[in-house]
Amino acid sequence: MDSVKNYINENKDRFIAELIELLKMPSISADAAYSQDVLNTADAVKNALEKAGCDKVEICETPGYPIVYGEKTIDPALPTVLVYGHYDVQPADPIELWESDPFEPVIKKTDIHPDGAIFARGACDDKGQMFMHVKALEYMVKNNVLPCNVKFMIEGEEEVGSESLSWFVKRNHEKLKNDIILISDTGMLANDTPSITTGLRGLSYVEVEVTSANRDLHSGLYGGAVANPINVLTKMIASLHGENNRVTIPHFYDKVEELSQAERDEMAKAPFSLEAYKKALDIDEVYGEKGYTTTERASIRPTLDVNGIWGGYTGQGAKTVIPSKAYAKISMRLVPNQDNREITELFTKHFESIAPAGVRVKVTPHHGGQGYVTPTDTPAYQAAVKACQASFGKEPIPVRSGGSIPIVALFEEELGSKSILLGFGLDSDAIHSPNEHYGIFNFLKGIETIPWFYHYFVNNK
Ligand code: BES
Ligand code: MN
Ligand code: MN
C-alpha cells in the first residue's frame, strides 16, 4: 500500500485532466434542458469505471436518470465495499457571479488551497470526490492490492431527492449486498485537520402558496380592504420563529435527540474560530437558537429556513398592485429521531391553522429524508480513522455535519448497511454556490486515503 503515494505522483496530471473532462459536462439534474448532458455523464462514468478495472459495469435504467453500477469481485468469500456517489450537479446560477465558466474548469491558487483548486460546478459536490474512488480503484487493481470486492453505485438525481435511487435500491437488495457503504460527499475541518463525518441532518422541504382574490387588484381601489397575500405570507413566516429563535410549530422539538453535556463537551473540542467564521462570511454577528453554540446550531439542532419567496411585481419601476398569490419554499433540517414525514405533517397542520380569514393556503411537500448517525465503535469506522492517520499523519476528529444525504438512511433501512462518510471537501469550497472549487490537495489526498480504508477494513475485520 505504500506505493500509493508514488502512483499518485506519477499519474496526478492525468487524474486531474480526466476529472476536468468530467466537469465539462453540465449534468444539472434539476433542469430538463440538460437531460442529454446528464445521460452523457452517466456514460462517461461508466467508461471511467471500466477503464479503472471494474469487470462488470452497467447503466441501470430507472424511471428517471440511470444509476451507473460497477463491480469488481476478487473472491466472494471476502467482504464487499459499496461505493456511493452522484454524477449530477446543482444548477450554476446565479451565473453572473462566477469568475470563470462553471463548465470550463480552471485551476487557480487560493489562500486555503496554495497548491491550486479546480473551479467548476460539481468540482467538490460530487464529481471530484466520486472520481477519487474511481482512481483509488485504478491504483488498487493495477498494483494488485485490492484486498476485497467492490461495488460502485453512482446516481444522477442526488441534488433533486434521489427518487430513482430509492426505486432502484428497493428492487436490488441482492445485487447491492455489501459489508459497508463508503461515501465521499461531505467535508472535513481543514487540510491540516482531518475529520470524519459522523452524522447528517434529515430534511423536510415544502412549498407554500397563499391566495387572496381571484385576480391581481389595483392597490388603490382595493388596498386596505382585501388581504394582501404577500403581507400575510411574510407575517405567517415571521411567526414560525419565536422567543430565542426557536421554531414555533407545536411538537416540532418533541423527538429531538438532546445531547448530554459530555457529548457537547466532546463536540466543542473540535477546532473552531468564531472570528474566522464571521470574517469568512462578512458578518458581524452570528444568529440562531439561543443556548447553543454556532457549531451546535449548524449540526445537532433542527432548523427552519425560507429558501425562496416570490409574488407580485418585481420588474422595473413601480406597479401598484395587490397580487392574487404569494409563494415560498421552506426547508427544515432535522436531527436524529425527528421523522421527516411527521414534521411535514406538523408543519402543514400548523401553517393552515395560522392562516387568517381572507386567504387560502396550500402546502405542497417536496422531497425529504431522514438524518443519519454513524456508529463510531465499529471496525469500519476504526478503519476510516486508521486510513486518515496513514495518509494525513494525524488522528481525524469525528464531526456531525449539518448537511443532508437522505439516501443514507434509506440504505440502512433497505439494505441493513451502515455508511462511512469519508469526505474531503472544505466548507469554503462553495458547493451549490458560484465559484465552487475543489483543492488539488484534497482530491489527491482522497485518492491516497481510500486504499488505506480498504486495507484496514479487510485486515482488521
Ligand atoms: N453533498 C451534499 C450534502 C453535504 C455536503 C453533506 C457537505 C455534508 C457536507 C449533497 O449533495 C446535498 O447537497 N444534499 C442536499 C439535500 C438534497 C436532498 C438536495 C442538502 O444537504 O441540501
Ligand atoms: Mn453531494
Ligand atoms: Mn449537493
Ligand 1 neighbour 186 (Cβ under 6 A): yes
Phi, psi of 98 (to 5 degrees): -80, 140
> Cα–Cα distance between 186 and 404 in angstroms, integer?
9
Q: Is the pLDDT of residue 35 over 70?
A: yes
Ligand 1: atom nearest CA of 401 is: 8
**343 and 335 Cβ atoms separated by less than 8 Å:** no
353-361 mean pLDDT: 98
15-37 mean pLDDT: 98
**454 and 74 Cβ atoms separated by less than 8 Å:** no
183-211 mean pLDDT: 97
Q: What is the pLDDT of residues 56-86, one digit of tens each?
A: 999 999 999 999 999 999 999 999 999 999 9
Q: What is the pLDDT of residues 209-262, one digit of tens each?
A: 999 999 999 999 999 999 999 999 999 999 999 999 999 999 999 999 999 999
Nearest to 370 by CA among 407, 398, 397, 323: 407
Ligand 1 neighbour 185 (Cβ under 6 A): yes
**343 and 334 Cβ atoms separated by less than 8 Å:** yes
Length of the chain: 461
State the chain's mean pLDDT as an integer: 97
- β-sheet bridge partners, residue 41: none
Q: What is the pLDDT of residues 258-289, one digit of tens each?
A: 999 999 999 999 999 999 999 999 999 999 99
Ligand 1 neighbour 405 (Cβ under 6 A): yes
Ligand 1 neighbour 401 (Cβ under 6 A): yes
Please tell me the predicted confidence (pLDDT) of residue 364: 98
**226 and 219 Cβ atoms separated by less than 8 Å:** no
Ligand 1: atom nearest CA of 86 is: 11
Q: Is the pLDDT of residue 460 over 90?
A: no
Pocket test for ligand 1, best of 84, 89, 90, 185 (most atoms within 8 A of CB): 185
Phi, psi of 398 (to 5 degrees): -75, 135
Q: Tell me how far the alpha carbon of residue 86 lies from the centroid of ligand 2, in angstroms.
A: 7
> Cα–Cα distance between 195 and 10 in angstroms, integer?
27
Q: Tell me how far the alpha carbon of residue 428 lies from the centroid of ligand 3, in angstroms.
A: 14
Percent of the chain with pLDDT over 90: 99
Pocket test for ligand 1, best of 158, 373, 420 (most atoms within 8 A of CB): 158
Q: Is the pLDDT of residue 1 over 90?
A: no
pTM of the predicted model, to two decimals?
Answer: 0.95
Q: What is the pLDDT of residues 375-417, one digit of tens each?
A: 999 999 999 999 999 999 999 999 999 999 999 999 999 999 9
List the residue whose alpha carbon is closest to atom 7 of ligand 1: 186
Confidence class for position 461, pLDDT limits 50, 70, 90: low
Please tell me the predicted confidence (pLDDT) of residue 75: 97
Ligand 1: atom nearest CA of 201 is: 21
> Cα–Cα distance between 313 and 79 in angstroms, integer?
60
Query: Which-ligand-closest: CA of 187?
Result: 1
